[in-house]
Amino acid sequence: MKVFVIGANGKVAHHFADFAKEDNSIEEIAMIRKAEQAGFFEERGIQTVLLDLVKNSIDELAEAMKDVDAVIFSAGAGGSGLDKTILIDLDGAVKAMTAAEQAGVKRFVMVSTFRTGREEMAKENDLQIYTIAKNYADEWLKNRTQLDWTIVHPGMLVDTAGTDQIKVGMGQDINEIPRQDVARTLISVLHNDNTINKEFEVLTGDTAVEEAVSKL
């Protein structure tokens, strides 16, 4: 399975790369924005593609996705400004979806924020614009594409070692989850077609990742 990862240089995606390297059924193609980011992937024998989600066109993204089986969207503005949040977390996501459909890719896995919806968007806090952007990107994926989508809503991301124990569902009280366990969850999503056209929140829990995902 060829998997095209957008936002490959992020912390969750770095863990994903390590898991993908160990998984003989997954061949990652990492989309990076800067040439100096390639070393991490070259050490792991992972192919890189140098593209900028904001600056490059849909056609250029689609060309890079040729012969790909799945796309993971794990990109984010990361607090670099409201304009970048809209350009990456919303418009960039839509560009990626459009490119995937243009390239004939069916499977699209979105790493979203923990909770979206109108109630969350109405909350006036530092994450309001980010939440709005993620909400509408998710809605576009579900309602404006023909992609086989999955939307993963992680809790508060932490850099502690993963436990391989999670809980999944919607409407949970927010709590933490190691980025490593989010990455492991993404691997499991790719291996489980029962996750197609589903979205779920993922937090640290007491069920093995593979078991939790397979029961969705």
- The pair of structure tokens assigned to 79 is 């607090």
The Cα–Cα gap between 6 and 167 comes to 25
- The pair of structure tokens assigned to 96 is 């990626």
The Cα–Cα gap between 135 and 156 comes to 17
SS (H, E, C) 124-171: CCCCHHHHHHHHHHHHHHHHCCCCEEEEEEECEEECCCCCCEEEEECC
Q: What 3-state DSSP class applies to 8?
A: coil
- For 14, the enclosing helix (H) or strand (E) is helix 11-22
198-204: strand order across its sheet: 47-50, 27-32, 2-6, 70-73, 107-111, 148-154, 198-204, 165-169, 207-208
Strand partners of residue 12: none
Residues with a catalytic annotation lie at 130
